């Protein structure tokens, strides 16, 4: 999928702008990004479509990660403009080309030390945010668990994703079109986001669905026993003790 995003990076925003506006995605991006505070990690940042929405008064540091170097290059150009605004971002924004679904990323990615007082708790983040990232990775379950490793116990994971909807007819359409869509755009748009979240071991604070149920909004946190769940699960998805997915479905 990385090759697809590297190839389409320059035209990506032009293709997405109108569609995200009319479906209300841009507004959801803004609302989600405004919730980020403290040391923040954005996973699957892409071209930086959330860049203008972060609140510089609430965000202490910001690490922007994507596996596609082409997409991240576009993101860097946007941040040159954002950094000229009211809140100076230059010293507190860092970029990292990498795959957050890989093993050991929690040891590789840390907030930048902007004041000589780096967090001693394993470089964990107060907020982890991801918009449209579970559709564009080969290992969505592993990626989500790794995001759980990167957030503090009292922090939050903010997700805006798209996948299966409420109705069989739209899910059948997504399934039929999924292989061609993934080949062209690098996005598997028919994934069961609710099931992936449920099995991640993360605790759900808030959850909403939009656009016939295909757009998923989550506020998550890591439970006290999250490290134990991940340790015992190896590379298998972690089943939650109590299932909420049946209610949402």
> What gap in Å lies between CA 143 and CA 225, rounded to an integer?
18
State which residues of the chain have pLDDT below 70. 1, 86-87, 114-123, 232-249
At residue 180, the pLDDT reads 95
> What gap in Å lies between CA 140 and CA 220, rounded to an integer?
16
Residue ranges per structural domain of the chain: 2-111+120-248
At residue 242, the pLDDT reads 44
- Sequence-ordered alpha helix ranges (H) in 124-225: 140-150, 168-185, 193-198
Encode pLDDT of 4-34 as tens digits.
777 777 788 788 888 888 889 999 999 999 9
What pTM does this model have?
0.88
- Residue for token digits 């359409």? 173
Q: Which of 182, 242, 192, 135 is nearest to 3 (CA)?
A: 182
- Residue for token digits 């950094």? 83
| CA angle (230, 29, 138) in 5-degree steps | 40
Instruction: Report domain 2-111+120-248's class.
Output: alpha beta
At residue 208, the pLDDT reads 96
At residue 236, the pLDDT reads 53
At residue 113, the pLDDT reads 75
| DSSP one-letter string for 87-111 | S--GGGEEEEES-TTSTTHHHH---
Longest dimension (CA), the chain: 55
Per-residue tokens: 204: 């759900």
At residue 231, the pLDDT reads 72
CA distances 199 to 21, 117, 139, 178, 248, Å, are 31, 35, 13, 23, 14
At residue 246, the pLDDT reads 47
Strands (E), the chain: 38-43, 59-66, 93-97, 125-131, 151-162, 203-210, 215-221
Mean pLDDT of the chain: 87
Q: Which of 13, 73, 22 is nearest to 49 (CA)?
A: 13
Q: Which of 156, 169, 153 is nearest to 130 (CA)?
A: 156
What is the torsional sign of CA 20, 138, 163, 53? negative
Counting beta carbons within 10 angstroms of the beta carbon of residue 180, is it exposed (0 to 12), middle (13 to 18) or buried (19 or more)? exposed
> What gap in Å lies between CA 235 and CA 50, rounded to an integer?
31
Q: 242: Cβ–Cβ under 8 A, 6 or more apart, which residues?
A: none
Residues of the chain above pLDDT 90, percent: 66
């Amino acid at each position: 999928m990385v090759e697809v995003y590297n190839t389409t990076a320059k035209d990506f925003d032009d293709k997405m702008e109108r569609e995200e506006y009319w479906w209300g995605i841009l507004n959801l991006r803004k609302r989600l990004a405004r919730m980020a505070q403290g040391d923040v990690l954005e996973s699957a940042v892409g071209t930086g479509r959330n860049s203008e929405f972060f609140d510089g008064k609430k965000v202490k540091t910001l690490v922007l990660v994507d596996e596609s170097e082409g997409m991240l290059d576009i993101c860097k150009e946007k941040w040159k403009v954002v950094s000229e605004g009211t809140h100076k971002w230059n010293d507190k924004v860092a970029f990292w080309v990498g795959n957050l679904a890989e093993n050991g990323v929690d040891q590789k990615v840390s907030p930048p030390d902007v004041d000589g007082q780096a967090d001693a708790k394993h470089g964990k983040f107060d907020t982890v945010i991801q918009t449209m990232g579970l559709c564009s990775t080969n290992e969505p379950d592993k990626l989500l668990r790794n995001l759980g490793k990167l957030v503090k116990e009292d922090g939050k994971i903010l997700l805006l994703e798209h996948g299966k909807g409420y109705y069989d007819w739209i899910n059948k359409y997504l399934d039929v079109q999924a292989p061609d869509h993934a080949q062209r755009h690098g996005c598997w748009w028919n994934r069961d986001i609710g099931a992936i979240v449920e099995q991640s071991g993360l605790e759900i604070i808030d959850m909403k669905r939009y656009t016939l149920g295909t757009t998923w909004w989550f506020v998550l946190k890591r439970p006290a026993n999250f490290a134990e769940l991940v340790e015992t699960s190896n590379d298998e998805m972690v089943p939650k003790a109590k299932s909420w997915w049946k209610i949402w479905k």
